[in-house]
Copies of this chain bind each other. A is one copy, B any other.
Amino acid sequence: MRLDFTPEQEAFRAEVRTWLDAQLSGEFAHIREIQGISEGAEQRFPWERHLGRAGWNQLSWPKAFGGREANLFEQVIFHEEYARSGAPGRLSHVGLELVAPTIMAFGNDEQRQRFLKPTAEVEIIWAQLFSEPNAGSDLANVQTRARLEDRPGGQVWVLEGQKIWSSFAQYSQWGMALVRTEPGSVGSKGLSMLLIPLDAKGVDIRPIRQMSGGSSFNEVFLDGAETAAANVLGAAGEGWKVAMGTLTFERGVSTLGQQMGFRNELDHILRVAKENGAARNPGIAKRLARAQAELRTMRYTALRMLGGSGLSLAGLTYKLYYTSWHQRLGELAMDVLGPAGEIAVPGSDAYRLQKMYLESRSDSIWAGTSQIQRNIIAERGLGLPREGKAAR
């Protein structure tokens, strides 16, 4: 139980900070201004490519794939420094945090060779194509089909179906798609994980306007879209196993970066509360103090989760905890602003915080609804029995 970093780790922190400061006061100074998860894509991609070329995107990767093999603490330090720098979150998140680890774990050498470096350097932006209109919480209910067909250049998978809620698919060149490759199969059997090019014919990507006004999510219509037969990750028919592997990567070190984002949001709210006098309302002050206490607690929970071995109860609870915290923070932000917060003039505190308030409503839906999270905590964490089959 040690809180301090070693001198080597502190030296690494200095290296990260120096590098970030140099970039963000120089060529990429403008990048700090970008707020919100669906803004400023055209400026953010050059920055994310720059990070990849400097090796930061692949910090923890094995050296064989161009990584630095950074340990947990170095990763923690990098994410802390990155968030502290004020640079925005990553549009390339799906590729870096979900697809690349999946390729490392389930891909063959050829796939690793072909995809990892361009993914790290953000030459390939990835979309995750898992959910469907009728496969939300019930992910195994995938209906998108793929069949092998002969083509002059060799066999290809031909895809038919519709995917939805694909973050940033509108910017993506490739997608990782969970599809049904065994006709007539149901549930988690008969699925395969295909890597598919999105700039090909038969792919139609339509951004979904979300209730906050922006568009991070997309519908992806697959109507005869093709990908080479070799672009299956793991064996054909093992798609469910691969998908479950992908989902475990969601609770990686990047959660610490997310937390630093939360820290920035809370600091923003604190500043507003002090400026506009809301902090003098004892009820508001207590809620601010509680938000602070819970954010600190969350940080230590994340470190316990990352530093421990295996899937801990702490890890299982993490998403539900931050979801609830973040939605309450959104409400607190609006209460701090008062009715004036309902009037959003672009660039104002109210504009940024109102956006956060609205966007936080999606937290309890994506990446496993809060109900799915509670099922997982209860069944996997507490060992409670599954419900009768008919109720699953």
Q: Which residues of A contact B (CB under 8 A)?
A: 282-283, 286, 387-392
Contacts and interface: CB of A to CB of B under 8 A. Distances in A.
A275 to B, nearest CB: 22
17 contacts: A282-B282, A282-B283, A283-B283, A283-B286, A387-B387, A387-B388, A387-B390, A387-B391, A388-B388, A388-B389, A388-B390, A388-B391, A388-B392, A389-B390, A390-B390, A390-B391, A391-B391
Nearest to A390: B388
A173 to B, nearest CB: 43
Contacts of A388: 387-392
Contacts of A390: 387-391
Nearest to A282: B282
A161 to B, nearest CB: 28
A138 to B, nearest CB: 14
Contacts of A282: 282-283
A281 to B, nearest CB: 8
Contacts of A283: 282-283, 286
A307 B310 CA distance: 59
Contacts of A391: 387-388, 390-391
A277 to B, nearest CB: 15
Contacts of A387: 387-388, 390-391
A230 to B, nearest CB: 42
A255 to B, nearest CB: 33
A368 B175 CA distance: 51
Nearest to A387: B391
Given A283-B283, A283-B286, A389-B390, 8 more contacts: A387-B387, A387-B391, A388-B388, A388-B390, A388-B391, A388-B392, A390-B390, A390-B391
Contacts of A389: 388, 390
A104 to B, nearest CB: 40
Contacts of A392: 388
6 tightest CB-CB pairs across the interface, nearest first? A388-B390, A391-B391, A388-B391, A390-B390, A387-B391, A282-B282
Nearest to A389: B390
A282 B286 CA distance: 12
Nearest to A392: B388
A388 B389 CA distance: 8
A379 to B, nearest CB: 14
A390 B391 CA distance: 7
A282 B283 CA distance: 8
A147 to B, nearest CB: 34
A350 to B, nearest CB: 25
A286 B284 CA distance: 13
A388 B392 CA distance: 8
A365 to B, nearest CB: 20
A278 to B, nearest CB: 14
A204 B387 CA distance: 39
A55 to B, nearest CB: 52
A133 B252 CA distance: 47
Nearest to A286: B283
A388 to B, nearest CB: 3
A392 B391 CA distance: 9
Nearest to A388: B390
A289 B181 CA distance: 61
A282 B284 CA distance: 11
A36 to B, nearest CB: 34
A137 to B, nearest CB: 16
A173 B326 CA distance: 58
Most chain B CB neighbours (cut-off 10 Å) among A283, A286, A390, A392: A390
A389 B389 CA distance: 9
